[in-house]
Structure 1
Amino acid sequence: MPNSLIQQFRDRVPVLHQRLMLGCALGLSVLLAWPQPKPTQSSLGFMPLMLGMGLQHGPQQLQQFPVAELTAWLQSQLHIAPAEDPFIKVYNIRAGDSLSRIFARYGLNYQTVQQVMAADESLLALDVLRPGNRLTLQLDENGQLQSMELYVHAGKKVLYKREAADEFSYQELLDEGVWQNTILVGEVFGSFYASAQRAGLNDADIYNINQLFKERINFARDLQAGAQFQVLRSENFVGEESTGLSRIEGIRILNRRQTLTAFMHDDGQYYDANGDSLERAFSRLPLASQVRVSSHFNPRRLHPITQRVSPHNGTDFPLPIGTPIIAPADGVVTRIENHPFAGKYIEIQHFGNYKTRYLHLSRFLVQRGQRVTRGQRIALSGNTGRSTGPHLHYELHVNNRPVNPMTAHIPLARPVPAESKAAFAARVKQLTAQMEQQTLLAKQQSAEQELAD
């Protein structure tokens, strides 16, 4: 009989209600079991005892009772999520997402999309949303967007804030974090690409190594089986969280009688162990001839159309539509996009920490993922997007930050400057010793593993 009553109770009462009732019973049990002064009278019965506790010891017990801890415990047991703020929406980016689709999900119209994209024109952070990115939207009581934070990685966030009914501004929130060094070593068996992957190098690392030595060795033909490689890779962390950024600070390839070396100096360029440059010269302009500048690099520029302060992260060259644009250095095309304000644009990742962008184009002459060489035609100039007339907007980024392309230090294929040559030689000696020590340790561990097997 009791079993049938219990079964009827389970069938008729919703599961959530059952859990709530269980939680109340557990809470009452804890209250009854909580230490308290002994009563002076004999047992008064269950209900009088409860009333007596409430009247005589209630205030004292409530002061001692761990309400917050018990509430958290009950929530975890009953799977009750904390109440969400109705004005804050958090969205984790998935493959294939676009800003317009995400905004539509929260009832935000396309006009709001356009306003945020206009603020992002000089940054282009929203143009390529990737899994791992996160958007946090702050809405008002009318469901209108007031601010939005884009989480790129632990060291980079971008805050978009409404400044007027039809305008947003942006602010980059950057944390440089710290760089932690790791030495990776290995031997070549099969292809260099597969061998490097086994050692822990990623595709970007392997590409950079190929670019550094491509004029000195053919990795597919000249690298012998058993050749050793030693790589000092530095990874960026903010606190305990990786930003996903890494760079090669030193590499040695021992290929029988040939030793290839590359070390990054303080100026961001790579030199061999003797201090000779490994970089190929970087052209100052992405054009075949000198052209006047119509708008200079200016982080505090007044926008010619909106008349509001808007960073100008590049240099503008007035050009007839169809003027050939050339790559200033070797690299890989990482973006080909059509932006409502930047127009048709291209981004190229060059060796080391250099990246270039070309905006307001009329035609693409390359594809995403394509490798390009210095002097190669990549596009034709145009007047697409938000533009006051036919021109090229050209940007140079160093370490993922825009710099003035007309005055910035660029690789010129020169040796280590004389004033820093001694410091460079000392660093090379130190890193070489560390690499050799790591290689010896790896060999010892491999020999011990073979004996154990």
Structure 2
Amino acid sequence: MKLKIVFSVLLIAVIAVACGDKKEKTNPVQEIAIPESKPVKAYGYLLDDYVVERDTVQSGDSFGKILFDSHVDYGTIQEISDSIKDIFDTRKIHPGKPYVLLKSKDTTAAAQVFIYEKNKEDYIVIDFQDELIAEEKSHPVTIIEREISGVINSNLSSTFDELDTNVLVAYKMADIYAWTIDFFKLQKGDRFKVVYEERYVNDTVAAGIGRIKASLFEHKGRPVYAYHFEHDSLPGGSDYFDEKGDNLRRAFLKGPLKFNRISSRYNLKRRIKYYGYKIRPHRGTDFAGAIGTPILATADGTVTKSERRGGNGNYVKIRHNGTYETQYLHMQKRIARVGDFVRQGDVIGTIGMTGNTGGPHVCYRFWKNGREVDPFKEDLPASEPLEDYLRPIYDNIMQPLERQLDAIPFASESKEIEEISEIVENQDL
């Protein structure tokens, strides 16, 4: 019996020692350091210092209402509005636009900073914490270069849909080639290549299409190149030129709409059933479009008339030089005012049905030396080519872009290359 007790004691001692050894060998618990969260900074402010309220301007909201609801008194609101009107008109905040309020962390929770997003890139900061400061700022923008090519099957916009590319690129192309290609008369098989820029705010938020750097549009088998060129000596600072340095811009656009569709031509022998088929001369060219469609100035000039009168309805008249004037009738809304200097392509009004008209359109009248003429029968001047001293500068920009364009395969060529590669791979197998 004593032997059993001694053996049991020894066994317990051995187990205890073994457990002790095992415990000694166990790795000590390591403390995991949790990194401190970095302070969040936006719009130039540490957001942790404020109560942050993000919202969108609603219908019926005003600058005053938004601030008053955030515990800012009317006197301060009026002082802010009066003091910053040269930088920002507080009456012109629009429903749907986002804004941010930075509020104090005390019991009042009063607004101290108002940030209004004008668009995806630009915003207004109104800081009234200590002293009133109003500034217009911009988010960091990243520009990414893209290349695409396409072949027309029906029209330009549907081709861009098939390419899953922003249709704004198509609109910009239409602007560039407005003087050389009629985009209402594209043919199946016409094709194009484009090098353009996409803009992103903070590397993630798409902010639209930037400039088209270079493009090639092949219409009816005739290639037309276009290269963007910037220089202080150019009107407006930049323009598009072909490989020879000739300006793609003409003195006058072919029509006053972005996409022109003629519904009635200039005709001095026109007869209308409503008037008993008597001759009723039509001294303008009608371009059809939906009500509200922007009407563009077809050339640079000064607005000499902007009024509503009789059968013309709302209209604008522009003097371009000592020879040419243009007139735009039946507007819904006049934007250009007498004395304004407008650039070619500027919006001067919108399509309407004012005056004598049976449907929405703009009647475009073209005057030469005081007489109304048919612009499509006039030999209108082209813009001036690049001056000789600019050619070396232009060539240094154009030639690399030309090589880049030529290296982009058309969509049909890409498919052929893929098919050939597949055949070669199958033969190797």
TM-score (norm 1): 0.49
Seen in structure 2, the aligned counterparts of structure 1 residues 323 and 431 have a Cα distance that, compared at 3 Å, is closer
Pairing partner for 1:149 from 88, 111, 115: 115
Shift of 1:121: 3.5
Shift of 1:446: 6.4
State the secondary structure of the residue aligned to 1:236.
strand
Indicate conservation of the 8 Å contact 2:98/2:116, yes or no.
yes
Which aligned pairs between 1:49-68 and structure 2 lie closer than 5 A?
65-66=31-32, 68=34
Distance in 2 (alpha carbons) for counterparts of 1:254 and 1:241: 34
State the secondary structure of the residue aligned to 2:182.
coil
Distance in 2 (alpha carbons) for counterparts of 1:449 and 1:98: 59
User: Is 1:162 the counterpart of 2:176 in the alignment?
Assistant: no
Gaps of 5+ in 1: 1-38, 44-59, 73-83, 290-321, 334-347, 349-364, 377-411
Seen in structure 2, the aligned counterparts of structure 1 residues 202 and 131 have a Cα distance that, compared at 3 Å, is farther
State the secondary structure of the residue aligned to 1:68.
coil
Shift of 1:331: 3.6
Distance in 2 (alpha carbons) for counterparts of 1:324 and 1:68: 68
Counterpart residue identity of residue 155, structure 2: S
Distance in 2 (alpha carbons) for counterparts of 1:95 and 1:196: 34
Which aligned pairs between 1:190-269 and structure 2 lie closer than 5 A?
190-221=154-185, 223-237=186-200, 240-242=203-205, 244-245=207-208, 246-267=210-231, 268-269=238-239
Indicate conservation of the 8 Å contact 2:150/2:159, yes or no.
yes
* Cross-structure match for 2:329: none
Which aligned pairs between 1:66-215 and structure 2 lie closer than 5 A?
66=32, 68=34, 87-93=50-56, 98-100=61-63, 102-103=66-67, 106-108=70-72, 115-118=79-82, 121-124=85-88, 127=92, 133-139=98-104, 141=106, 142-151=108-117, 156-162=122-128, 168-174=132-138, 177-215=141-179
Which aligned pairs between 1:307-326 and structure 2 lie closer than 5 A?
324=338, 326=340
* Cross-structure match for 2:399: 429
Which deviations, in whole Å up to 9, do the C-alpha atoms of 1:12-41 show, x marking residues without a partner?
A: xxxxxxxxxxxxxxxxxxxxxxxxxxx999
* Cross-structure match for 2:259: none
Seen in structure 2, the aligned counterparts of structure 1 residues 162 and 105 have a Cα distance that, compared at 3 Å, is closer
Distance in 2 (alpha carbons) for counterparts of 1:375 and 1:104: 52
Which deviations, in whole Å up to 9, do the C-alpha atoms of 1:128-166 show, x marking residues without a partner?
A: 5586845242447434332233456775443222277xx
Pairing partner for 2:240 from 263, 270, 274: 270
Shift of 1:170: 1.5
Counterpart residue identity of residue 265, structure 1: F
Indicate conservation of the 8 Å contact 1:159/1:173, yes or no.
yes
User: Is 1:329 the counterpart of 2:343 in the alignment?
Assistant: yes
Shift of 1:421: 0.9
* Cross-structure match for 1:22: none
Shift of 1:122: 3.8
Seen in structure 2, the aligned counterparts of structure 1 residues 367 and 172 have a Cα distance that, compared at 3 Å, is farther
Seen in structure 2, the aligned counterparts of structure 1 residues 331 and 433 have a Cα distance that, compared at 3 Å, is same
What percentage of residue pairs aligned between the two structures are identical? Answer: 14
Distance in 1 (alpha carbons) for counterparts of 2:412 and 2:178: 27
- Equivalent pairs counted in the alignment come to 283
Q: Once superposed, what is the RMSD of the aligned Cα atoms?
A: 4.9
Seen in structure 2, the aligned counterparts of structure 1 residues 184 and 162 have a Cα distance that, compared at 3 Å, is same
State the secondary structure of the residue aligned to 2:128.
strand
Distance in 1 (alpha carbons) for counterparts of 2:113 and 2:220: 59
Distance in 1 (alpha carbons) for counterparts of 2:219 and 2:398: 19
TM-score (norm 2): 0.51
Counterpart residue identity of residue 150, structure 2: G
Distance in 1 (alpha carbons) for counterparts of 2:161 and 2:364: 28
Distance in 1 (alpha carbons) for counterparts of 2:362 and 2:206: 28
Shift of 1:201: 4.2
Seen in structure 2, the aligned counterparts of structure 1 residues 372 and 181 have a Cα distance that, compared at 3 Å, is farther
Pairing partner for 1:420 from 390, 395, 404: 390
Counterpart residue identity of residue 264, structure 1: H
State the secondary structure of the residue aligned to 1:220.
helix
Indicate conservation of the 8 Å contact 2:99/2:114, yes or no.
no
Distance in 2 (alpha carbons) for counterparts of 1:215 and 1:208: 13
Distance in 2 (alpha carbons) for counterparts of 1:191 and 1:422: 37
Seen in structure 2, the aligned counterparts of structure 1 residues 202 and 175 have a Cα distance that, compared at 3 Å, is same
Gaps of 5+ in 2: 1-15, 21-27, 38-46, 232-237, 252-296, 306-335, 353-359, 367-381, 423-429
